[in-house]
Amino acid sequence: MSDNSDNTVIDKVELPSEDRTGFWPELGSSLRQRTGTWIVATIFAILTIFSDNLAERIKSALNRADAREEKYAALSRQLSGYIYDCELIDEYLANGWTTRDAFVPIILDYNRDITDLRRNEYADRAILAKYWNKDRRNDFMAIMGEAQAIDSTIHSLNNELEQVNVLKTKDKVDPVLAKSTALEIHNQLANFKPQVETLLDKLE
């Protein structure tokens, strides 16, 4: 019996191995895709938040601008109406147009506008501080001080007006008193009107 152990050639059979040459590139590609998707999603989320905040800020700014414009218009009407009334009173007194029929309607218009101005004084102060600043509020307070001084001058005619309008014991306001009062109002308006114009210019 012959020994074939030396003559036998045993072929080495290579077992199929799992091919891993494409694993790492595929993993890297997958990670890159997922990272890219995450970055894009994050960017969109940030942009959405930013755009929402921006939209809210723009909306708030527009609302504030509308409110400022509305308050400016209301305050300018109040002050303009008051100045106009004072100018009419000044003119009527200076020219002696102080009979009951001529002067009383002017006084009634004045009383309505000064009441409106005084009634809204503290609200206007708060609005000026909120929508502008405290300096504008202080400017308005100075203006209201001047308005009250003019009002006191006009109120000095109350006794005369009572005799003309209520008691009817006089046909018109005393001409000397009327002229001196007109001069005082005229001088007060010379200070008052520039203050109002300056304030309104600052609010624009």
Per-residue pLDDT, 46: 73
Give me the sign of the Cα torsion angle 150, 156, 160, 162: positive
**Residues sharing a CB contact under 8 Å with residue 183, sequence separation 6 or more, in sequence order:** 94
CA atoms of 204 and 182, how far apart (whole Å):
32
The DSSP line for 78-104 is: HHHHHHHHHHHHHHHHHHT--BHHHHH
Query: Which of 35-67 are b and which e, b meaning 16 or more Cβ less than 10 Å from the residue's Cβ?
Result: eeeeeeeeeeeeeeeeeeeeeeeeeeeeeeeee
pLDDT of residue 93: 98
For CA atoms 192, 194, 199, 203, the dihedral sign is positive
pLDDT tens, position by position, 12-57: 555 455 555 555 566 566 666 677 677 767 776 676 766 666 556 6
Conformational region of residue 39, where left means phi above 0, alpha means psi within -120 to 50, and beta covers everything else: alpha
Other beta carbons within 10 angstroms of residue 172's beta carbon come to 16
> What is the phi/psi pair of residue 99, to 5°?
-70, 165
Give residue 39's pLDDT: 78
CA geometry: angle at 120 spanning 184 and 188, to 5°? 10
Quickly list H helices, the chain. 23-95, 100-119, 121-131, 134-155, 158-161, 175-203
Tens-digit pLDDT string for the chain (204 aa): 445 555 555 555 554 555 555 555 665 666 666 776 777 677 766 767 666 665 566 665 556 677 889 999 999 999 999 999 999 999 999 999 999 999 999 999 999 999 999 999 999 999 999 999 999 999 999 999 999 999 999 999 999 999 999 999 999 999 999 999 999 999 999 999 999 999 999 998
User: Residue 98: which of 176, 156, 150, 161 has the closest Cα?
Assistant: 161
The CA distance from 22 to 43, in Å, is: 31
The residue whose two tokens read 């909120």 is 130
